[in-house]
Amino acid sequence: MSKKILEITELKREFIMGSETVRALKGISFHVEAGEFVTIMGSSGSGKTTLLNILGCLDKPTLGDYLLDGVDVKKLSKDELAKLRNHKIGFVFQSYNLLPRTSALENVELPLLYNKDIPVNERRDRAIKALEAVKLADRFDHTPNQLSGGQQQRVAIARALVNEPVMILADEATGNLDSRTSYEIMALMQDLNKNEGKTIVFVTHEPDIASFSSRTILLRDGKVQKDTKNENPRSARQMLADLPDADDY
Amino acid sequence: MDILNLLRIAYRALLRNKLRAFLTMLGIIIGVAAVIAMVAIGQGSKKSITDQLSSMGSNMITILPSSNVTGGVRIAGSSFQTLTEKDIIALQRGAKNITELSPSITSRGQVINGALNWPTTIQGVSPEYIDIRKLSLKDGILFTNDDVRKSAKVCLIGQTVIDNIFPNGENPIGKVIRFNKIPFQIIGILNPKGQNTFGQDQDDILIAPYTTVQKRILATIYFQNIYASAASEAVSDAASQEMTDILRESHRLRNDEDNDFTVRTQAELINTLSSTSGLLTILLTVIAGISLVIGGIGIMNIMYVSVTERTREIGLRMSIGARGKDIMMQFLMEAILISITGGVIGVVLGIASTRIVTLTLAWPTIVSQSSVLLSFVVCAVTGIFFGYYPAQKASRLDPIEALRYE
């Protein structure tokens, strides 16, 4: 039996907007085991973003428990949450969120600056390794505006990997990319999942993207509507190969 | 988070916007440079006034006859005759804090060399006067106490007088000139001193033994002044008190009587004049200080805008593990880096500009260490003070909202 990376039980999150209470999450329970590639799907207003914020330790649930790698998030202070984010979660955002006018290498190094456990002289090596893992070995000195969208997202993935987190949390990571580049990113994700055993939680609203994962959780109105195992995930690499050559530039 | 790491983060963040960082710095640079230059110019002019006065002898003490009331009529001090040889002897005997003493008596008259003549002043003094007033001889010798005793008809001559009665460059030493019909042999030439602070030509003078002037020219037993040298500047106040006491006794003044003389130390004069220029320095420094504060507000403004503009960056940093404290320290460090770098450049610029002022305008300037230190400390404090509020604002952002900020 593999280790539970993520375990949530009866998770509720309510927002108070003026006199009204908005219940964004109405009791959600599931767990994710190490090495899983989970997509969380749902239309807008389904509580996707709220759940993502909680999973990313940016927000705390109103009710219910959330255990990340065995740590009860609810009990942590703001500073401890920050440390947890640094050590255990690698974020990948829809809009990359790279620092402008900053080289790819320095962007990847950024999380290490906030990690006391990594000695200064090891930072560069780890950043180089992470960039090599996303196949950007020849782009160290490029700034974001010198990189394509797909390359920028790969830098962001390298940044997510550099602290060796237990989980990569992607928020619509392919939302700004065309389908070819999306497949490239998904192929990279699948590689990381299969070859490196990384646990990936991928929030998306595209069923096409969800089909690459090993499991899909469908949210609706703040509840889990469907939780399906995908026994035969599509291979993004295969999809790439099948795309007509004419697109290749 | 260690300070080195913090510095690295702040430094990289600043490098991303070099021009803006520089423009923000500019306020501080100009402020610091202005403070240093203004203080340097102020101090320089103060020093030059002090130096000029000291060149007359900084521990010089002057005794003048002072106004007194005679039968209800107040009489001007200068026309009052109270200082005599008796006072000199009393002072020589009693005053311990003075090293040199010379009476002084002057007379105006026409000096004549052959067909040439020139209106000038003859001053009768003792040989010690040369030391007291820090005069020196360019050529020839000084008269002696023996000359004083004999009322010898010898004199020292100032450059202005030479220029007027020996216009052809002949050596005046040994020549006999006449002052108000009395022949004087020139035995020495005074080094030129130029004008004093009040615009008087200090070289338009003949100096002779005081007995000669007293007996042969003015036929008087009184002196106009007594000059003395205190042993050091530090004891000049004590010396002046001591001389007052001796003179009161010598003049047999009762306890309820006012002094019939005035004792004036050079230090008093220096204080009066330098306090004027000190006031000017303060004024200039305050103006420069205001520009430093404006520079600080510039930093605050830019940091504030920067926090808003970099909201997403802050959100990102928080999401990858920066604590509120880290963000706060980063922005604070950026502000401090800006102000300290600006401060360093300002110090260099300030020193350079004072050099330029000295070189081009020939104004005396003194860059004082305290002004450099002070303006540097002020700009570091400015950085912390004006950087704090924006930094706090940054640290309190909610990462969720910050990440979605457009």
Residues A180-210 pLDDT 10s:
899 999 999 999 999 888 999 999 988 888 9
Indicate the DSSP class of residue A145: G
Enumerate domains of chain A plus CATH numbers.
Answer: 35-57+82-248 (3.40.50.300)
Interatomic CA distance for residues B319 and B317, integer angstroms: 5
Asked if A63 is an interface residue toward chain B (Cβ–Cβ < 8 A), one would say no
Is the pLDDT confidence value at A97 over 60?
yes
| Contact at CB, A59 and B317, closer than 8 angstroms | no
| Overall average pLDDT of the B353-359 stretch | 91
Residue B197 confidence (pLDDT) = 63
| Residues of chain A found within 8 Å of residue B320, distances taken between Cβ atoms | 85-86, 91, 110-111, 114, 159, 163
Reported as a single tens digit per residue, the pLDDT across B61-115 is 888 887 655 556 665 555 567 788 888 888 888 888 888 899 999 999 999 998 8
| Contact at CB, B312 and A97, closer than 8 angstroms | yes
Side-chain-side CA neighbours of residue B131 (13 Å): 13
Q: Which residue in B339, B397, B270, B325 sits closest to B25, CA to CA?
A: B339
Interatomic CA distance for residues A71 and B275, integer angstroms: 72
- Closest CA of chain B from A97, distance in Å: 7
Residue B368 confidence (pLDDT) = 83
Interatomic CA distance for residues A184 and A194, integer angstroms: 15
| Contact at CB, A93 and B403, closer than 8 angstroms | yes
| Contact at CB, B322 and A120, closer than 8 angstroms | no
Asked if A100 is an interface residue toward chain B (Cβ–Cβ < 8 A), one would say yes
Reported as a single tens digit per residue, the pLDDT across B302-329 is 888 988 988 999 999 999 999 999 999 9
Is the pLDDT confidence value at B233 over 80?
no
More confident residue, B106 or B49: B106
Interatomic CA distance for residues B155 and B209, integer angstroms: 7
Asked if B77 is an interface residue toward chain A (Cβ–Cβ < 8 A), one would say no
| Contact at CB, B319 and A91, closer than 8 angstroms | yes
Q: Which residue in B132, B159, B128 sits closest to B142, CA to CA?
A: B128
A-chain residue closest to B406, CA distance: A95
| Contact at CB, A85 and B8, closer than 8 angstroms | no
> Which residues, in sequence order, are CB contacts of B327 under 8 Å at separation 6+?
B314, B317, B318, B391, B394, B395, B397
Interatomic CA distance for residues B30 and B53, integer angstroms: 34
Interatomic CA distance for residues B248 and B55, integer angstroms: 30
Strands B182-190 and B154-157, sheet pairing: parallel
What amino acid occupies position B123? Q
Q: Which residue in B135, B137, B104 sits closest to B122, CA to CA?
A: B104
The answer to whether B375 and B292 have CB atoms below 8 angstroms apart is yes
Backbone phi, psi, residue A136, to 5°: -120, 35
Bridge partners (DSSP) of residue B61 are B228, B265
- Closest CA of chain B from A248, distance in Å: 33
Asked if B19 is an interface residue toward chain A (Cβ–Cβ < 8 A), one would say no
Interatomic CA distance for residues A129 and B219, integer angstroms: 107
State the best of B316, B330, B396 to mutate against chain A, taking most chain A CBs within 10 Å.
B316
Among A234-248, B180-194, B267-281, the range of highest mean pLDDT: B180-194
| Overall average pLDDT of the A230-247 stretch | 81
Bridge partners (DSSP) of residue A15 are A22
| Overall average pLDDT of the A71-85 stretch | 90
- Closest CA of chain A from B385, distance in Å: 25
By three-state DSSP, how is residue A38 classified?
A: strand
**What are the b/e assignments for B318-339, b being 16+ CB within 10 Å?**
bbbbbbbebbbbbbbbbbbbbb
B-chain residue closest to A115, CA distance: B321
Element (H, E) at A92: strand A89-92
The answer to whether A169 and A58 have CB atoms below 8 angstroms apart is no
* Alpha-carbon dihedral B277, B283, B284, B287, rounded to 10 degrees: 180
| Contact at CB, B320 and A58, closer than 8 angstroms | no
More confident residue, A164 or B51: A164
Domain locations along chain B: 3-52+272-404, 99-225
Asked if A77 is an interface residue toward chain B (Cβ–Cβ < 8 A), one would say no
- Closest CA of chain B from A239, distance in Å: 32
Is the pLDDT confidence value at A1 over 50?
no
Q: Which residue in A53, A49, A157 sits closest to A104, CA to CA?
A: A157
Asked if A111 is an interface residue toward chain B (Cβ–Cβ < 8 A), one would say yes
Reported as a single tens digit per residue, the pLDDT across A3-62 is 888 999 999 999 988 889 888 899 999 999 999 999 999 888 888 888 999 999 988 889
- Closest CA of chain A from B322, distance in Å: 6
Six-digit token pair at B90? 């009393």
Q: Which residue in B238, B272, B266 sits closest to B63, CA to CA?
A: B266
Residue A247 confidence (pLDDT) = 52
Asked if A97 is an interface residue toward chain B (Cβ–Cβ < 8 A), one would say yes
Is the pLDDT confidence value at B270 over 80?
no
| Contact at CB, B319 and A83, closer than 8 angstroms | no
A 205-244 residues with CB below 8 A of B?
Answer: none
| Contact at CB, B316 and A99, closer than 8 angstroms | yes
**Mean confidence (pLDDT) of chain B:** 86
What does pTM read for this prediction?
Answer: 0.71
Q: Which residue has the tokens 């430093």?
A: B292
Asked if A114 is an interface residue toward chain B (Cβ–Cβ < 8 A), one would say yes
| Residues of chain B found within 8 Å of residue A104, distances taken between Cβ atoms | none
Residue B295 confidence (pLDDT) = 83
Span between the terminal Cα atoms of chain A, in Å: 45
Six-digit token pair at B402? 């910050």
Residue A242 confidence (pLDDT) = 85
| Contact at CB, A82 and B318, closer than 8 angstroms | yes
| Contact at CB, B321 and A116, closer than 8 angstroms | no
When computed from its CA atoms, the radius of gyration of chain A, rounded to whole angstroms, is 18
Number of A–B residue contacts, CB under 8 Å: 68
Interatomic CA distance for residues B150 and B148, integer angstroms: 5
Lowest mean pLDDT among B50-54, B68-72, B194-198: B68-72
| Residues of chain A found within 8 Å of residue B313, distances taken between Cβ atoms | 97, 99
The answer to whether A191 and A134 have CB atoms below 8 angstroms apart is no
